[in-house]
Structure 1
Amino acid sequence: MDRAARIGQLGDVAEVMLGYVENKTTFQGEGTLKVPSASYCDEEIYKKEIDLVFKKLPLMLAFTAEMPNPGDYKAMEAVGLPVLITRDKDGTVRAFLNVCSHRGAPVAEEGYGNCPRFTCKYHAWTFGRDGKLIGISERQTFGDVDKSERGLRQLPCEERAGMIFVSLDPEGSFDLDDYFRGYLADFEDMNFKDWHYVGNRTIHGANWKIAFDGYLEGYHFQSLHPETIFPRTPSNTTHYEGFGPSMRIGFPQHEIKNLLKDVSRDEWGTRENYGYDFVRILFPNVSIFVAPEITQVAQLFPGPTPDKNRTVLNYLCREAPKTPEEEENLQGMANFFRDVTYEEDYVIGMEIQKGLESGAHKELIFGKNERGNQYFHEWLNWYMAEDPSAPEPRM
């Protein structure tokens, strides 16, 4: 599908959302879905999610904008594993386990930098940006080592549409075209690779699925966000599209009719943020809200125990700030988004965690109007079942 066809498709979605607002309706699934409360609390389920989902599927771990230059790197933790992402002098991006092949220490401190090589602080073994072992300190006293066999352990990695995807399984592989079913074209159309990285904030909350469920529906906007989201976006008025296990969620604005009435129908697909908004979900753990001034990208990771998650809130914008005042404004907006996400969504999530652990109810129920939540849990169960012959969930 070319860009014009994609704009036409978005225009069709805008028309559907306009109908939702005018008729006070929303996207509907076929029925309700029950999910066991244990899904959010059980140690074995938690471990299985990490092993079969987070350590197998391609995870979006970095942005082109975070490390745009040759020699740039990002060292981070993902699901308890130390990961090092590098950009070589020819622009190639690679990912490794950030673990020295001598005695297991990290070769780069967590964070960002730019360097031609990585030196382990324990015994000063040195590795190139391509992960190859290039130096052993005091080698004459160490003994024979085949350097070609002692490089950093490489991870499957691919850079697409301004994002860097990594599998945490060194023996794994992935096909992004098959996995995203054309969805990455959204980000290519936005020239996401050329955006400016503002920074990130980290927050902590309940089980990762409790937190993620909150990103997947607008049923709660009026009751939970009466002063922040609801003035712009009506409650329980949501559209869903599936791209494999990922989703594009449409949220019409109260004023969608007025904002589109003087715009040619052919241009409705170009009016994101001016009549309607999208939250883009990258399965299993990323939520992206694009706004004109600043964009929030939430990466949710399971915490050290089933009842905890670690969420990294990343902030990007289309152009780098030109003045200190513009930079200060961007940082202020990032703090505002962080505070709303934590104080209005994550705090109640921790209360939900206590409620589920109390045993009050054996299961939760997602309504027909919460089809995004249903779809997410259906795909999660599909991967957990380890049966590729089983039918895939359909939106």
Structure 2
Amino acid sequence: MGYYDTLGAEAAKMLEYVETGTTDSAESTMEVPASAYTDTGYFDREMETIFLKLPLLAALSAEIPRPGDFKAMDLMGKPILVTRKSDGGVAAMMNVCAHRGMILQPEGHGNKKRFSCPYHAWTYANDGKLIGVADPGKFGPICKEERGLTTLPCVEAAGIVWVCLTPGAQINIEKHLGGMMEDLAAHNLEKWHFCGSRRIYGPNWKIAYDGYLEGYHFAAAHPETIHPRSFSNIMHFTAFGPHMRVGYPQVAIKEKLTASPRDSWGQIENTGYDFVRTIFPNVSIFFAPEITQVAQLIPGPTPHQNTTNLLFIRRDPPRDEADAAAIEGMMDWLRDVVDKEDYGVGLQVQKGLASGAIKSVIFGRNERGNQFFHKYVNHLVSGETGSEPPVL
């Protein structure tokens, strides 16, 4: 079965759920200790076994499309610098001068062939090599080859620049993404236009991630934004390793799908149904007709917090000033929905769990994606040698 045939089958399944009043379901309910969202020791193990080992989204290809483009950012408390080299390839390194540890480049985007430290003016090429020491005669002998920026494993695939925060580690992005690679590659994200970003602050990263994995909350939490478009509590789940494609049928799914030939259903995403793609451990992607939102959840610095960067792209750059203004308005609207509705709820959940009022949270049979996500987190954190990862 081809890619679009598979999407069409998932759309058909969503239509069946709507017509029968059912949803994709797990075999039983599942409890997760409340401490999984609050305990510092558990949080530290998550950082060590998941976030410092797995490939993480550092940038969209569309953020650094030209040779010399760069993005400086904080990722998991580590200052990193991602660059587009002169040969078109990408590089990632710690954004820290090898002389005295000064942060080399302030957070943001730009285009530079070289980076000069604002403290003592040591200069680096955009691949991290040290190319100049200020006043070398007075400084003394130094081996430039040994004093470049600390490089990080980095690979570009499916329109995304992936980085591992452990120097010297190996990235097998094809193995990591599995079938999700085909899904992302089908969109040719590397050809899209980067519109901008927004930043919001929320609760524990898993509370935030939980919200992307179910539509059970649509009616109560999004009565005027999402629920008028999409059914509440009807979902379809497809897993690719730890990653998921979560389907949400629109209230007009029957009308929209029956108006199109059955063999075209997989090619009309956003017409009758939508998907949210989650890339484990901390990315959610929603392809909307107007603009695409990529949410990057960055845990910490404590178990009770996360910083979320909302990155926005679309297929074409703004047509004119009015179109550019409309894009800005859409980014603000999407930010406000996530911030005020999802994270507004999430912060209250965090407060409730921290109170000690309940010992565990319970996920229903309808919250199948959440169950799978928490099983995968626990599988990685437990580190049991030889154990098989969970399956959906």
- Where in structure 2 are the equivalents of 1:45-64 lying within 5 Å? 45-64=42-61
Q: 2:154–2:161: 8 Å Cα contact kept in structure 1?
A: yes
| CA–CA distance in structure 2, aligned partners of residues 110 and 255 of structure 1 | 43
- Where in structure 2 are the equivalents of 1:265-344 lying within 5 Å? 265-344=262-341
Task: For residues 155-193 of structure 1, give each alpha carbon's deviation from its aligned partner in whole angstroms, at most 9, with x where no partner exists.
Answer: 111111111100001021221111111212222211211
Which residue in the other structure is 2:6 paired with? 9
| Comparing 42-51 and 161-170, the one that deviates more | 42-51
Which residue in the other structure is 2:86 paired with? 89
| Comparing 105-114 and 231-240, the one that deviates more | 105-114
Task: For residues 266-311 of structure 1, give each alpha carbon's deviation from its aligned partner in whole angstroms, at most 9, with x where no partner exists.
Answer: 1110010001000000000001111011111110011221111100
- Where in structure 2 are the equivalents of 1:17-32 lying within 5 Å? 17-32=14-29
What code does the residue aligned with 1:302 have? P
CA deviation after TM superposition for structure 1 residue 261, in Å:
0.8
| CA–CA distance in structure 2, aligned partners of residues 187 and 50 of structure 1 | 26
CA deviation after TM superposition for structure 1 residue 319, in Å:
0.6
CA deviation after TM superposition for structure 1 residue 144, in Å:
1.3
| CA–CA distance in structure 1, aligned partners of residues 201 and 227 of structure 2 | 24
Which residue in the other structure is 1:79 paired with? 76
Q: Is there any run of 5+ residues in structure 1 with no aligned partner, and where? A: none
CA deviation after TM superposition for structure 1 residue 234, in Å:
0.6
| CA–CA distance in structure 2, aligned partners of residues 182 and 128 of structure 1 | 36
CA deviation after TM superposition for structure 1 residue 340, in Å:
0.8
Which residue in the other structure is 1:116 paired with? 113
What code does the residue aligned with 1:328 have? A
| Comparing 102-111 and 277-286, the one that deviates more | 102-111
Task: For residues 318-346 of structure 1, give each alpha carbon's deviation from its aligned partner in whole angstroms, at most 9, with x where no partner exists.
Answer: 11011010000000000000001111111
Which residue in the other structure is 1:100 paired with? 97
What code does the residue aligned with 2:357 have? A
Task: For residues 51-89 of structure 1, give each alpha carbon's deviation from its aligned partner in whole angstroms, at most 9, with x where no partner exists.
Answer: 211111000110111010000000000010000001111
Task: For residues 95-121 of structure 1, give each alpha carbon's deviation from its aligned partner in whole angstroms, at most 9, with x where no partner exists.
Answer: 001111111012211111111111111
Which residue in the other structure is 2:144 paired with? 147
Which residue in the other structure is 1:129 paired with? 126
CA deviation after TM superposition for structure 1 residue 247, in Å:
0.4
TM normalised by structure 1 equals 0.98
Which residue in the other structure is 1:193 paired with? 190
Task: For residues 15-45 of structure 1, give each alpha carbon's deviation from its aligned partner in whole angstroms, at most 9, with x where no partner exists.
Answer: 1011011111100111111111011111111
What code does the residue aligned with 2:138 have? T
Match of 2:377 among 375, 380, 394: 380
Q: 2:155–2:171: 8 Å Cα contact kept in structure 1?
A: no
* Secondary structure at the counterpart of residue 79 of structure 2: strand
Q: Percent identity?
A: 49
What code does the residue aligned with 1:384 have? V
Task: For residues 217-272 of structure 1, give each alpha carbon's deviation from its aligned partner in whole angstroms, at most 9, with x where no partner exists.
Answer: 00011111111111111111000010011100000111111101121111110010
Which residue in the other structure is 1:251 paired with? 248
Match of 1:216 among 213, 217, 220: 213
Q: Is there any run of 5+ residues in structure 2 with no aligned partner, and where? A: none
Which residue in the other structure is 1:174 paired with? 171
| CA–CA distance in structure 2, aligned partners of residues 101 and 386 of structure 1 | 34
